[in-house]
Amino acid sequence: MMALVLVLLLGARVDAAEVPPDGATRTDAGHAGDVREAEPADGGHGEAAAVLPQETPAHKQADASADDVSLGDSQAPTGPPQRPATDGQVLSEDAIEMRAQQPVPPARVTLSLAEPAPVLGMEHETELRVVATGAFASPLPFPRILCSAGRVEDLVREGPTSFSARFLLPSTRFPQVAILVADFSHDSLILRGALAVRLRAATSPGFHTDPGARVTVKVVDKEFGPVLAPADGNVHVPVVVPPGVDFALAQSVNSRGQASQQLLDLAIPRARRALVVAPEKLVAGSVGEVAVLAAEPSGRLVDASTIVLESSGPQPEPLGSLAEGEARFLVRVPASLQDPTLHLMASLRGEPDVTAEADVVLISAPTAHLMLQAEAVPSQAAPTRSLRVFLSAQDAFGNPTDAGEAAVLVDGQPASPRATQDGRVMLLLRPPAVPTGRQAMEVEAVLDSGHAIERIPLSLFTRRPPPPPPVQGTRYTLTPRLGLLWNLHQPPGIALFVEAMASLHTSLAGFAFGLTAGYLHSSFFSWNSAGAGDVVLDQIPLLAQASYRYRLDRLALSAGAGAGLVLAQARLHALGSEIPGHSLAFSCEGLIEAAFLLRRSQVVLGLRYLAMSLGELSSRDVIVGNTGGFVVDAGYRIGWR
């Protein structure tokens, strides 16, 4: 009989262990991530041992043996064993050696909720406690809290290794699983704990039955009700649904004692059941560990071998699993950062609808190359009062780094670089107020393993401006010219011209356009029906002119042409009387000249040919032939820019 009782009791305990409570699945074991289901009486807590750095390129440990493990910044004491005192007694050598041989308890992180199985729609928040135990440097920094549903706020420290916060339940009112992770990982220590919380939801499924029927709804093994159906037969029964349950069984007994059953589809939407735990930042060319946790709809953690991780960079490498429901991956960061983030996407093999994503910020490696570059100063520029020196920095892979963090010395004195509007980093140099006798200023910059030195000649600040060019180009010119007029039919006369020209550009070569006004005075012998006499002729030509100039060092040659009108006044002296007459006629010219170039002026020698035919004058006299001719003149040209 006693044996039968024992068998029944043991069988009852086994059956109870197979059904998960409406609580939280926790991690609790001697290594990171051993998982077991939490009993309702334990307050819904979970704990996980520290995940120690593995022998990867990112975290290599120089272990003396398989039993020597480095936990973050915590290190085992070296040297001969000490003799600690306990209650005033000195321990023996054997006691010290025995204590040293005792295994160090594994580090673990425990997460627990004040309400182990919250009900959505009835509760809005609960208290979350995080406690870390083990051999590591204390106090621990604040952990990074991640959750697949809901959010965590008001994280406060309760002790060197204990923290508390408010876990705000998700606003969506349907049963689901929330995965909470507390991550203390930093430097070479990987320490985290996880907790899978089964969030139940309060709802009221509705269906139609006989009016006045007595209705109950069974969800899994729990029955809700009874509720009497109203006169229209549409009844709603308040129930609490755990995650992983999609259907409920409705039972009704009408007034005639007839029983009926209905299978109710609770229409539970799909919830997020996976979480990616990745570093917030990774360095170019490095590797990092990424963990992915996933749970089944009921809250049980999945087989870690079914978790798949992909990235926008190199394919992650599986590192195996140290905990149920948690898969670890080695992620490699490209050396050249073409994209500022690394996108990670986790999924379950055979369940494409279960996904989780995360973005890791990629940063440059420590600075390996530092460059100083002074701005270019034109050789003909005047002395500068300040000079900009630009700083640029790169890591070993050619990725840009922040040169603004460099320590800068100017002639041994600290200086502060600043950023320009276009994002560059520069240092503004000014010459020393007191002459130091040195020929250059020394600028030195150091950042990480990058180092650069630049020497700036002081002559940039003290040099004299170069002399102006011996000849300067002009755009506008005014040239008075004086010369002689001569042709085959009359004696030489006097020629005076004033020429105003303009060019398209400030130059001593090329095309120029303008106006020329002149005065020509000449005399010749003539005759008419009244007799013979002398003619005094005054002519005023007004011409539009164009010329092309060609420069040969200090000499400029030009050729041009012009056309316009000439106003002539003639006086005929015959038989003691004077007969005046005037005429307006067409005039044109062609000219060549040579100019000797001074700084802003020119000495000009010119030869032109004027063609002017006056014809009949107002006195009815007719002047036959060309009254112009060759003009040889000299002038002085003044120019303006």
- 589 to 175, 510, 543, 583: CA distances (angstroms): 105, 20, 8, 19
Q: 3-class SS at 97?
A: helix
Is the pLDDT confidence value at 634 over 80? yes
62 CB-near residues (< 8 Å, 6+ apart): none
Any idea what DSSP says for residue 405? G
Q: State which of 152, 180, 200 marks the end of a domain.
A: 200
- Is the distance from CB of 200 to CB of 22 less than 8 angstroms? yes
Instruction: Give the confidence band of 463 by pLDDT, cuts at 50, 70, 90.
Output: low
Number of domains the chain is built from = 5
- What six digits make up the tokens of 37? 């289901």
Q: State which of 200, 223, 255 marks the end of a domain.
A: 200
**Which of the pair, 628 or 95, is modelled with greater confidence?**
628
Among the ranges given (9-13, 246-250, 325-329), the one the predictor scored with the smallest mean pLDDT: 9-13
66 CB-near residues (< 8 Å, 6+ apart): none
- Is the distance from CB of 610 to CB of 589 less than 8 angstroms? yes
| Positive/negative CA dihedral, 236, 242, 244, 249 | negative
413 CB-near residues (< 8 Å, 6+ apart): none
Q: Which residue has the tokens 């087989």?
A: 303
Which tens digit of pLDDT belongs to each residue from 148-184? 999 999 999 999 999 999 999 999 889 999 999 999 9
Q: Which amino acid is at 154?
A: D
Residues 335, 429, single domain; the answer is: no
Q: What is the DSSP string of 412-439?
A: TEEE--EE-TTS-EEEEE---SS--S-S
- What six digits make up the tokens of 122? 């009835």
**Nearest CA among 455, 363, 367, 456 for reference residue 407:** 367
Which tens digit of pLDDT belongs to each residue from 561-602? 999 999 999 888 777 778 888 899 999 999 999 999 887 789
Residues 48, 181, single domain; the answer is: yes
245 CB-near residues (< 8 Å, 6+ apart): 175, 219, 220, 266, 268, 298
Q: 3-class SS at 393?
A: strand
- Is the distance from CB of 573 to CB of 566 less than 8 angstroms? no
Highest-confidence range of 86-100, 361-375, 428-442, by mean pLDDT? 361-375
**Nearest CA among 353, 357, 372 for reference residue 312:** 357
- Is the distance from CB of 637 to CB of 479 less than 8 angstroms? yes
Q: 3-class SS at 514?
A: strand
Q: Which amino acid is at 212?
A: G
Q: 3-class SS at 223?
A: strand
Q: Which amino acid is at 332?
A: R
Residue 296 in any domain: the answer is yes
Residue 573 in any domain: the answer is yes
622 CB-near residues (< 8 Å, 6+ apart): 615, 616
**pLDDT at site 202:** 92
- What six digits make up the tokens of 66? 């398989």
Residues 125, 39, single domain; the answer is: yes
* CB neighbourhood size of 207 (10 A): 18
- Is the distance from CB of 538 to CB of 521 less than 8 angstroms? yes
Q: How far apart are CA 502 and CA 135, in angstroms?
A: 91
Is the pLDDT confidence value at 83 over 50? no
Residues 355, 373, single domain; the answer is: no
Residues 257, 390, single domain; the answer is: no
**Maximum C-alpha span of the chain:** 180
Instruction: Give the confidence band of 395 by pLDDT, cuts at 50, 70, 90.
Output: very high
Residues 48, 185, single domain; the answer is: yes
- Pairing outcome for strands 247-253 and 259-265: antiparallel
Residue 294 in any domain: the answer is yes
Any idea what DSSP says for residue 372? E
Q: State which of 319, 338, 363 marks the end of a domain.
A: 363
The CATH number assigned to the domain holding 221 equals 2.60.40
Please give the average per-residue pLDDT across 546-551, as a whole number: 90
**pLDDT at site 97:** 54
Residues 34, 145, single domain; the answer is: yes
How remote is the C-alpha of 237 from its chain's centroid? 56
Is the pLDDT confidence value at 482 over 50? yes
Residue 48 φ then ψ, to 5°? -145, 140
- Is the distance from CB of 171 to CB of 193 less than 8 angstroms? no
Residue 401 in any domain: the answer is yes
Residue-range definition of the domain harbouring residue 505: 476-640
The CATH number assigned to the domain holding 168 equals 2.60.40.10
Any idea what DSSP says for residue 270? P
Q: 3-class SS at 145?
A: strand
Instruction: Give the confidence band of 36 by pLDDT, cuts at 50, 70, 90.
Output: very low
- Is the distance from CB of 133 to CB of 45 less than 8 angstroms? no
Q: How far apart are CA 97 and CA 92, in angstroms?
A: 9
Q: How far apart are CA 317 and CA 158, in angstroms?
A: 38
As a whole number, the mean pLDDT across the chain is 81
Residues 569, 503, single domain; the answer is: yes
Q: How far apart are CA 345 and CA 593, in angstroms?
A: 84
Residues 307, 261, single domain; the answer is: no
Q: Which amino acid is at 102?
A: Q
Residues of the chain above pLDDT 70, percent = 80
| Positive/negative CA dihedral, 490, 491, 494, 499 | positive
Q: How far apart are CA 164 and CA 153, in angstroms?
A: 10
Predicted model pTM:
0.57
Residue 312 in any domain: the answer is yes
3-state helix, strand, coil in the chain (%, to 5): 5, 55, 40
Is the pLDDT confidence value at 431 over 60? yes
Helices (H) and strands (E) in the chain, counts: 3, 46
Q: 3-class SS at 561?
A: strand
Give the CA-trace dihedral at 444, 448, 450, 456, to 10 degrees. -10
Highest-confidence range of 57-66, 68-77, 212-221, by mean pLDDT? 212-221
Among the ranges given (29-43, 176-190, 216-230, 597-611), the one the predictor scored with the smallest mean pLDDT: 29-43
Among the ranges given (185-194, 365-374, 449-458), the one the predictor scored with the smallest mean pLDDT: 185-194
Which tens digit of pLDDT belongs to each residue from 275-316? 999 999 999 999 999 999 999 998 888 999 999 999 999 999
Phi-psi domain of 320 (left: phi exceeds 0; alpha: psi -120 through 50; beta: other): left
Please give the average per-residue pLDDT across 498-516, as a whole number: 89
Residues 601, 485, single domain; the answer is: yes
Is the pLDDT confidence value at 471 over 80? no
Q: How many residues does the chain have?
A: 641
Residues 356, 409, single domain; the answer is: no
- Pairing outcome for strands 531-552 and 555-574: antiparallel
**Which of the pair, 539 or 82, is modelled with greater confidence?**
539
- What six digits make up the tokens of 127? 């208290």
* CB neighbourhood size of 257 (10 A): 6
Residue 4 in any domain: the answer is no
Residues 296, 226, single domain; the answer is: no
**pLDDT at site 380:** 58
Residue 74 in any domain: the answer is no
Please give the average per-residue pLDDT across 394-399, as a whole number: 94
Residue 36 in any domain: the answer is yes
Residues of the chain above pLDDT 90, percent = 50
